[in-house]
Chains A and B, each alone.
Chain A
Amino acid sequence: MDEKTIVSNTPLNSFYSLNGEQFKRFVEASLRWLKANQQLVNSLNVFPVPDGDTGTNMLLTMQAAYNEIAESTDLNIGHISKNLAQGALMGARGNSGVILSQILRGFARVLDNLPEMDAQLFSRALSESRNTAYKGVVRPVEGTILTVIKDVSIAVENAITRTSDLALILEEAVKSADESVKYTPELLPILKTAGVVDSGGKGLFFLLEGALRYTKGLTLDDSAVVIKDLASIKFAETMEAVEDGQDVEVVIDFAPYKTLDLESFYEDLSKIGTSIQVGEGDGLYRMHIHTETEKQDEPESLIKKMGEIYKIYKEDLVDQMKRIEAKKNEISLNKFTPGTIAVVAVSPGIGLSRIFASQGASAIISGGQTMNPSTQEILKAFEDLPTDKVIILPNNKNIILAANTAKTLSVKQVEVIPTKNVAQGISAILRWNPEGDFQQVVDDMNESLEEADCVEITTATRNVVLNGIEVKKGKIIGLLNGKLMIGADDVEDAALKILEKTDLENRERITIFYGSELTEDKANSIAKQIEDKYPDHEIEVHYGGQPLYPIIMSLE
Chain B
Amino acid sequence: MNPIENPLGSIFISHRALASIASQSALESYGVVGLAAKNLAEGITQSLVKDPIMGVDINFEDSAVIIDLYIIVEYGTRIKSVANNVAELIKYQVENTTGLRVKNVNVHIRGLRISNTD
Binding site for B on A (CB under 8 A): 48-49, 51, 89-95, 97-99, 101-102, 105-106, 108-109, 132, 135-139, 141, 401, 404-405, 408
Interface of A is mostly: helix
Chain B residues in 8 Å Cβ range of A408: 62-63, 101
User: When the two chains form their complex, are residues B63 and A138 in contact, meaning their CB atoms are under 8 A apart?
Assistant: no
Tell whether, in the assembled complex, residue B101 and residue A101 are in contact, meaning their CB atoms are under 8 Å apart: no
User: Which residues on the B side are within 8 Å of A135 (C-beta)?
Assistant: 33, 74, 115-116
Q: How many A-B residue pairs have CB under 8 A?
A: 77
User: Among the listed B33, B34, B63, B78, which residue makes an inter-chain contact with A92, where contact means beta carbons less than 8 Å apart?
Assistant: B78
Q: Which residues does chain B contribute within 8 Å of A108, judged by CB atoms?
A: 118
Q: Does B13 contact A (CB under 8 A)?
A: no
CA distance A497 to B23 in the complex (A): 48
B109 contacts A by Cβ under 8 Å: no
Asked if B78 and A136 sit within 8 Å, CB to CB, the answer is no
Additional 5 contacts, C-beta under 8 A, given A101-B77, A138-B34, A408-B63: A48-B89, A93-B81, A97-B81, A135-B74, A136-B31
Contacts of A48 in B (CB 8 A): 28-29, 89, 92
In the bound assembly, the distance between CA atoms of A438 and B35 in angstroms comes to 48
A98-B30, A137-B30, A137-B32 known; A405-B77 Cβ under 8 A: no
User: Of all chain B residues, which has the CB nearest A145?
Assistant: B30
Interface string of B19-39 (1 = CB under 8 A from A): 000000001111111100000
Which chain B residues lie closer than 8 Å to A109 at the CB level?
Answer: 116, 118
Residues in A whose Cβ lies below 8 Å from that of B92: 48-49
Contact A49 B78 (CB under 8 A): no
- Check if B33 sits within 8 Å of A405, measured CB to CB: no
Chain B interface (Cβ < 8 Å from any Cβ of A): 27-34, 62-63, 74, 76-78, 81-82, 85, 88-89, 92, 95, 99, 101, 115-116, 118
Contact in complex: A94, B85 (CB < 8 Å): yes
Q: Are B81 and A138 in contact (CB under 8 A)?
A: no
What B residues does A101 contact at CB under 8 A? 77-78
The listed residue (A92, A141, A405) touching B101 by CB distance below 8 A is A405
Interfacial chain B residues near A404, Cβ < 8 Å:
99
Q: Which residues of B contact A401 (CB under 8 A)?
A: 95, 99
User: Across the interface, which residues of A come within 8 angstroms of B29, CB to CB?
Assistant: 48, 95, 137
Check if B88 sits within 8 Å of A49, measured CB to CB: yes
Give the residue name and chain of the A residue nearest to B99 (CB): A401
B68 CB, min distance to chain A CBs, angstroms: 19
Asked whether B27 lies within 8 Å of A139 as measured between CB atoms, the reply is yes
Q: How far apart are A157's CB and chain B's nearest CB, in angstroms?
A: 20
Minimum CB–CB distance from A401 to chain B (whole Å) comes to: 6
Question: Could you say which of A51, A90, A132, A405 contacts B78, with CB atoms under 8 Å apart?
Answer: A90
- Show 23 A/B contacts (Cβ-Cβ < 8 Å), sorted by A: A48-B92, A92-B77, A95-B85, A98-B77, A98-B78, A98-B85, A99-B30, A102-B74, A106-B116, A132-B115, A135-B33, A135-B74, A135-B115, A136-B31, A136-B33, A137-B29, A137-B31, A137-B32, A138-B34, A139-B28, A401-B99, A405-B101, A408-B62
